Structure 1
């Protein structure tokens, strides 16, 4: 973890050097101020030397102001350096997360990722702080003051030092417990965030099934677990801090007892007692900082483990080292003996062979879970085939850049994804488009009149996930987005399955316009929508069991005819 911080801070060496210089200056002043106090008590006051007293007081005030200036400089630059380092880390981590493939997101929990990208990074920032880096200056002062104290009175200094092993023993005793406690806190917080995120994104389901109480009880249990874990961690910290304070005060008692006895014996002065009490505070400062740092280290180490695990994840779907240029699609997409399985599971697709000719409409039908959507995900290269190959105008899609491939594919699915922004933002997502081009796309999707009827037009806020829009309106915005992208290859994945019959008829006309002069792969929920497809493939249990036109498949009186008749009988 320290090496990691070293890399993050390496870009700010000049500022860190200035911080160290100011901290050394603070340490020097911290040594001089108790000496001034000692001189005032032992010399200026007994000699009733007012002039000398004023000079010493002015010197102390000046040094205090300078020390305050040094502290201001160090605090500002440490804050600047830490913010820049953490900002850079968050950018790097977020970009790394976006680079992961679909398999990673399907096995990861959104709440956990949110905790890593926010809370865990903030926890690391606590280590790059004035108190943490100030420990360097305090340790320097510690060494200087310790040498001087040993030279002045080694017996008293050794007695004070006896308390320090007790401090380190207390640190050792609680380190393991605090670390385990905060690991439990972070884990329970991740589960709680997952529950919040899942509940808020599934509010329609919760409301329709009237499970508010059940969902609230589940959250209450997770919240209670997180509370109990936090209380346990707080309990350990509550025990830890007073123990340190008691051991620290033991050093004060030793100075007061032994020092006062030596004053009575005439071998020590009152000014030296006051100075030693100040020096004790200087010696104890690194220990206090160290105890606080240890607690932050325990919390940060848990956060760092989670960050490290995220950074260690490597996407399997990546660009090839020497990508082949991909020309605009003009011939055909070919699935050549394609097989696929998710991880170690049973194969989802087995020896799939078919072509999607340029300018033609190819439809996939079959039972739920037959593998139809998996075929589209393989074409978009969200996953790589287990066996066989998918070629794009004769080029294996694994040999081209992901951006080049996906820029030529437009997707409209049943689950429309809209951003919490304006209609303009959602239509032009990922693209730079003029006003005229956006309106042209909206006209193509038959939603332009609806947008013009809104008070704010294209600037209308649609709410999170388009909550202010109907299902048909959401789908038309998604269609407008694909119109604007103008990709030559179109995938329609049961895009009208969630709509009522009237909405489907209107949107089907938009699809007909969209599919003109494009190559289309359509997954059909309602078979009546793909009667005019150039070829229909019937997929069952990961295999193509029938193929042909609508009329040919009905004439065969096989699985397609069975599905068609069942749909119209219902």
Structure 2
């Protein structure tokens, strides 16, 4: 599998995707830097010209612009104040505009990243979801992508503006006094480098903090998902205590991370202030020893030292954002490089949709953990249009067979064939288009009955009602005020377990698959309702290949053939009456479960 890394080069490429917007942002940054660095220069120059009878660096220019009637101190002061305020407002407006542009850019980039992650999510192997909680996965799409977004929207925009401000400030300092300007420009990188050294541990601290947060989110998500069951069984307190422990761990880790990160940030700022003190002392010394530096210019130098403080502090802070973004990208890349599902490739063989489909297991072996087989050299064939039932004790490998047929798991040895063709030669997408599965605990979405049945398919209401009729759920839905638009609640909790199963049956019927798998699909139904559903399904399943997995033997007696599994091997096969007379595992199961 080719590695699909998301790195800062990826972000750079996405930034340059729309160069016109980026050019606008840079123009704003240049203009904002220009308006910012001019502000401290006006008043000090006016002090030199008005109070100290200086060379007139500002005054002479104002005299050219202003009419002779305004050539007086009050006018000069008022005009200078007006220009200073105007420059501040212009700087504010340009900064806001630049922030708006970068926010749009960052959101567009993060949208692209989320789409990239979602496309990857579709192809990730099923074992990733078995090993990783939904909380951790959700955190990737929210927290980590948001961290990258913050880096782009604030950090990169600050980086551009800060560099431009430093360049413009450096130019003005060199214009005021070459010696002082060079001293500040040479010493500044040393100060910044010293602060960067202090921030290197922040990345590890942030990684530990994010790990603790993800663990808390995962436990909380699991708890919320199982809230009803936990509360009924009075185990909510136990699991809540586990979440509280996780929250305490998150608290301790976050405290450790935050105060140390804050200490590093404050230490960096103190180093910068020490540099500022050094700059100020140098300015006083040069003013004392040089006739070229006026009082107003020295005040301007002090002002520019404060102007430099913001961009330098931004550059120092950027490293912390960079460390956080790097840690987020590491987690995103780990997800992007998870093993993907092998969906197979069609080798020019056309799998004809709607044809009668037979299924064959040929010496299939499979294990979740090496050395612990779940299926052991299983071989049998399901003729097209036949209904078979698979029974056996829990852990016998029944549900794993379903996962093999749907391609969620691949055989370690042997092969699964559809109409004589290997499932991977056909391609899983084609195979799954022909399969309908109803699980014991079907996935129900927090939406309407209509949307839960359609699942993105397009169908007339009449077709939906026909499917509901097969599932014996039509009367219940008609009795609801909103009918098909009735909300089922979170995870379908407004429905009973049996109603959720029948909703899933209706969903399957609407698809009209050629292969139907019923995995404990009627286990939550009462005997009377189950009998009605099975009777109506019998007509629907005519000429369709059907596999029923059930513990309740009433659901399997009508099968054309029954396969009995134990410890991953098929040990019996035949009709109900034949198997009863064999006095084997099936007979014992039947006696245990009863008619």
TM-score strictly above 0.5? yes
Query: Is residue 395 of structure 1 aligned with residue 421 of structure 2?
Result: yes
The structural deviation recorded for 1:171 is: 2.6
Relative distance call for 1:71 and 1:311 in structure 2 (3 A) is same
- Does residue 105 (structure 1) correspond to residue 129 (structure 2)? The answer is yes
Q: 1:261 to 1:173 in 2, by over 3 A?
A: closer
Aligned-residue Cα RMSD (Å) equals 2.4
Q: Structure 1 residues 208, 51: closer, same or farther in 2, change over 3 A?
A: closer
- 1:519 corresponding residue in structure 2: 545
Q: CA deviation at 1:261?
A: 5.5
Change (3 A) 1:134 1:357: same
The range that moved more, 72-81 or 508-517, is 508-517
Looking at structure 2, the residues matched to 104 and 265 of structure 1 have their Cα atoms a distance apart, in angstroms, of 71
Distance, in Å, in 2 between the alignment partners of 1:477 and 1:240 is: 57
User: What's 2:261 paired with?
Assistant: 237
Rounded to whole Å, the distance in 2 between the matches of 1:370 and 1:266 is: 94
Task: Report the Cα offset of residue 508 of structure 1.
Answer: 2.9
Contact 1:329 / 1:393 at 8 angstroms: preserved in 2? no
Correspondence list, 1:236-275, <5 A: 236-260=260-284, 263=287, 267=291, 268-275=293-300
Q: Which residue of structure 1 lines up, in the alignment, with residue 30 of structure 2?
A: 24
2:574 is the counterpart of 1:548: yes
Matching of residue 379 in structure 1 with residue 385 in structure 2? no
Aligned residues of 2:126 and 2:341 also touching (Cα < 8 A): no
Quick one: structure 1 residues 102 and 254, their matched pair in 2 at CA, closer, same or farther if it must change by over 3 Å? closer
1:168 aligns with 2:168: no
**Distance apart, 1:426 and its partner CA:** 0.9
Question: 1:528 Cα shift?
Answer: 3.0
In structure 1, C-alpha distance between the alignment counterparts of 2:280 and 2:437, rounded to whole Å: 80
Deviations 1:397-428 (A, max 9, x none): 11123222111111111112111111111111
- State the Cα deviation string for residues 424-482 of structure 1 (Å, max 9, x = none): 11111131111111111111111111001111111111111111111111111111111
For 1:141-198, what per-residue CA distance to the aligned partner results, in whole angstroms no more than 9, with x for missing partners? 323433543464455446645465344323312321x212111111111111111111
Change in 2 beyond 3 A, CA 1:110/1:408: same
* 1:313 pairs with one of 325, 334, 338: 338
User: Distance in 1 between the 2:343 and 2:50 partners?
Assistant: 77
Residue of structure 1 equivalent to 2:17? 11
Name the residue aligned to 2:57.
Answer: none
Structure 1 match to 2:40? 34
Residue 337 of structure 1 aligns to a residue in which SS? strand
Provide closer, same or farther for how the CA distance between residues 503 and 336 of structure 1 changes in structure 2, counting only shifts above 3 A. same
CA distance in 2, matches of 1:375, 1:428: 27
Deviates more, 1:157-166 or 1:494-503: 157-166
Contact 2:191 2:272 survives alignment (8 Å)? no
**How many angstroms apart in 1 are the aligned matches of 2:560 and 2:262?**
74
**After the TM superposition, which of the residue ranges 392-401 and 428-437 deviates more from structure 2?**
392-401
Match of 1:283 among 308, 315, 337: 308
Deviates more, 1:439-448 or 1:139-148: 139-148
Matched residues in 1 for 2:229 and 2:176: separation? 77
* Paired position in structure 2 for 1:135: 159
Counterpart in the other structure of 2:64: none
**2:545 is the alignment partner of 1:539:** no
Corresponding residue SS for 2:151: coil
More off after superposition, 355-364 vs 40-49: 40-49
Cα distance, 1:43–1:386 mapped onto 2, change above 3 Å = same
Q: Given the alignment, which residue of 96, 103, 128 partners 2:120?
A: 96
Which secondary structure does the structure 1 equivalent of 2:121 belong to?
helix
1:194 paired residue number: 218
Cα deviation for residue 13 of structure 1 reads: 2.0
CA 1:241–1:107: 2 relative to 1, 3 Å: closer
C-alpha distance in 1 between matches for 2:130 and 2:268: 47
- The correspondence of residues 464-503 of structure 1 with structure 2, limited to 5 A, is 464-503=490-529
Q: Distance in 2 between matches of 1:7 and 1:109?
A: 32
Q: Is the 8 A contact 1:255 1:276 kept in 2?
A: no
Cα displacement (A) at 1:61:
4.1
Q: Please give the alpha-carbon distance, in whole angstroms, between the structure 1 residues aligned to 2:247 and 2:529.
A: 42
Whole-angstrom distance in 2 between the partners of 1:566 and 1:35:
95
CA distance in structure 2 between the aligned counterparts of 1:200 and 1:144, rounded to whole angstroms: 55
Determine the structure 2 residue equivalent to 1:355. 381
Select between 407-416 and 345-354 the one with higher mean Cα deviation.
345-354
Deviations 1:316-371 (A, max 9, x none): 32241646321023142222222222253422212222121122111111111111
Q: Note the residue ranges of structure 2 that are not aligned, 5 or more in a row.
A: 1-6, 54-71
Tell which deviates more after alignment, 184-193 or 151-160: 151-160
Query: Residue deviations 1:226-250, cap 9 Å, x none?
Result: 0111111221233233323333333
Q: 1:62 offset after TM fit, Å?
A: 4.1
The answer (yes or no) to whether the contact 1:159–1:254 under 8 Å persists in 2 is: no
| Partner SS, residue 528 of structure 1 | helix
Structure 1 residue matching 2:484: 3-state secondary structure: helix
Aligned CA distance change for structure 1 residues 322 and 6 (closer, same or farther; 3 Å): farther
1:282: how far off? 3.5
46-55 vs 480-489, which moves further: 46-55
1:528-556 CA distances to partner (integer Å, 9 max, x unpaired)?
A: 32222111111112211111111222232
Partner of 2:372: 346
The SS at the match of 2:459 is coil
TM-score, normalised via structure 2 length: 0.89
Distance 1:548 1:33, change over 3 A: same
Pick from 350, 358, 369 the counterpart of residue 332 of structure 1.
Answer: 358
2:472–2:502: 8 Å Cα contact kept in structure 1? Answer: yes
The equivalent of 1:292 in structure 2 is 317
In the alignment, is the contact (CA less than 8 A) between 1:26 and 1:70 conserved in 2? yes
* 8 Å Cα contact 2:501/2:524 also seen in 1: no
Q: Paired residue for 1:206?
A: 230
Change (3 A) 1:212 1:530: closer
Query: Who is 2:110 aligned against?
Result: 86
Bigger mean CA deviation after superposition, 380-389 or 283-292: 283-292
Aligned residues: 568
